[in-house]
Amino acid sequence: MNEAAVIPFPISLEERLELGTNEVRFPASLEEFADLLEMCDYQIEYQDFEIIAMSIASDPHEQIVANFLGLLHGIFKGNPDFRRYGSNRHVFLPEYPAAYSPDASVIKGQPEIIEYSKGKTANLNPWLLLEILSESTRQRDLGEKLPRYKKISSARYIILVEQDAPLVTVFEREDGSGRWISTDYDGLGQSFDLAGKPVLLADIYENILMKS
């Protein structure tokens, strides 16, 4: 009887690229994930007792992230109540457990920090979460991460951005009821409010070369 070949966990970027462009999952403990965080040359996440070797980000993806982080800096500059983070700062959901690396996140107030493994910490209370969608991540972002993001009690905004066309979906939690309301914006001339300030789609997609 032939046993299925066990694929060794890819550490280098070259090893990760050899596995293709889609996400790859490996059964692992949270402690094993924490150990591999320092070793890997690329982004990894943890969910439901699996390490997820993330796909390699495209050029438009990285440009959109840079543009959005720049917009967040302008919105919250000088306001000590808000802290901005890139994807290297994980958001931890202890009930699953899961350690996600949103493309950007914002904390309102003091960060609530958990040490989920010795020397490894993550934030527990994001106010805003941003994900850039792609063909390789769409199913997981929408089907797995989004429902869990919505259960984070501190979350007020979840923003999903397409990278191949101007389309931004903003999920905003209503005050009082706690219900999530989603609104799509699909024109470069459109904008939405964030902390009382407008965010223009033209600024999010500035200098982005999209597929025709």
The pLDDT, as a whole number, for residue 2 is: 41
- The predicted structure's pLDDT at residue 194: 96
Identify the structural domains of the chain with CATH numbers, from first to last.
13-53 (no CATH), 59-204 (3.90.1570.10)
Which residues of the chain have a pLDDT value below 70? 1-6, 209-212
| pLDDT tens-digit readout, 36-56 | 998 999 999 999 999 999 988
pLDDT for res 75: 97
- pLDDT tens for 129-148 read 999 998 888 999 999 999 99
pTM: 0.93
| Predicted pLDDT of residue 6 | 60
Q: DSSP letters of the chain?
A: -PPPPPPPPP-SHHHHHTT-SS-EEEE--HHHHHHHHTT-SS-EEEETTEEEEPPPPPHHHHHHHHHHHHHHHHHHTT-TTEEEEETTS-EEETTTTEEE--SEEEEESSPPEEEEETTEEEES-EEEEEEEE-TTTHHHIIIIIHHHHHT-TT--EEEEEESSSS-EEEEEEPTTT--EEEEEE-STT-EEEETTEEEEHHHHTTT-----
